[in-house]
Amino acid sequence: MDQVKVLVVTGFGINCEEETAAAYRMAGAHAYISHLNDLLNGKIRLHDFNLFHLPGGFSFGDDLGSGKVLADKLRYKPMSDGTSFFSEIKKFLADGKYIFGICNGFQALVKSGLLPNISGKFEQEITLTNNLSGHFEDRWCVLKTNFQKKSPFLKEINHIHLPVRHGEGRLLFAHAGIRDKIVDLGLDCLTYCDQVGNPTSEYPFNPNGAELNCAGITDTTGRILGIMPHPEAFLSIYNHPEWPRIKRERKLENEEGDGLKIFRNIVNHIRKN
């Protein structure tokens, strides 16, 4: 059986590539870490992979807003042969392949127009901006999946516990029509919850003040996912600050962290399909 191949981008301030690649490898995929420039100059071919991953970090120092410069680079930077890299991304998606962005990667997907792309025109429809708290948030959150729109990334996940680490995670919609369409289609796939698992706008359970208490968005196909929390930071139960309590209460069959479920889901889905 062919191995699932994942391309994890790095460079320009991205800093979660190693944990991300480790997550895919633990899930049974081959993960290749590449500097974005290697894609743009043709050393690496996007189409040789099944999944394109944009990790978390601080690309270009967030100087013009988190993910904005990276988004513009993805969208407008010509490749060495003069063609647009964004046209390569569109072809990659047209071939039925997958894209996953976490934190800074999510911000880049949103600001490049790849998510949620309700219009199909790859125009920016939502944004991720400064937390209502006015400062960087580094905390663990309870999250609930929305199964109106099933995404292979989130299969059989109901509640999940993951950390957030961001200063600009507040999701806002361009206008009420976009918000309503996202709700109707169930594209708001991940929701901040209180400690007992109920969706809430209360701080700090919703750490940034996101509309709809939204922590993640999928496109209409379910093949592009962007989330603010970091599943690659919870691959082992021992990553969690309260691991002894969790281990006792859950009576775990193994010592895997919640975050690994997302990577296993998508790797298994690609392998089967």
What radius of gyration, in Å, describes the C-alpha atoms of the chain?
A: 17
**What does the pLDDT read at residue 149?**
62
Q: 246 pLDDT exceeds 90?
A: no
Instruction: Choose between 154 and 83: higher pLDDT.
Output: 154
Measure the CA dihedral 127/128/132/137, to 10°: 180
Strand order in the sheet with 214-218: 30-35, 5-10, 51-54, 98-102, 224-227, 214-218, 190-193, 137-145, 159-166
Nearest residue to 208 (alpha-carbon basis) of 123, 106, 112, 124: 106
Whose structure tokens read 């991205």?
A: 14
pLDDT in tens, 155-183: 999 999 999 999 999 999 999 999 999 99
Cβ atoms of 35 and 10 within 8 Å: the answer is yes
Provide the residue range defining the domain that includes 146: 5-272
**What does the pLDDT read at residue 1?**
47
Q: 252 pLDDT exceeds 90?
A: no
pLDDT band at 81 (very low <50, low <70, confident <90, very high): confident
Per the structure, how many domains does the chain have?
1
pLDDT in tens, 99-138: 999 999 999 999 999 999 999 999 999 999 999 999 999 9
**What does the pLDDT read at residue 47?**
96
Mean confidence (pLDDT) of the chain: 94
Helix or strand (DSSP H, E) at 37: helix 36-40
Task: Give the CATH number of the domain where residue 72 resides.
Answer: 3.40.50.880
Rounded Cα–Cα distance for residues 193 and 52 (Å): 29
**What does the pLDDT read at residue 65?**
86
Cβ atoms of 145 and 166 within 8 Å: the answer is no
Q: 26 pLDDT exceeds 50?
A: yes
Catalytic residues: 103, 230, 232
Q: Which of 133-137, 189-193, 252-256, 257-261 has the lowest mean pLDDT?
A: 252-256
Q: Which of 6-15, 124-133, 227-236, 249-258 has the lowest mean pLDDT?
A: 249-258
**What does the pLDDT read at residue 148?**
62
pTM for the full predicted model: 0.96
Q: 248 pLDDT exceeds 90?
A: no
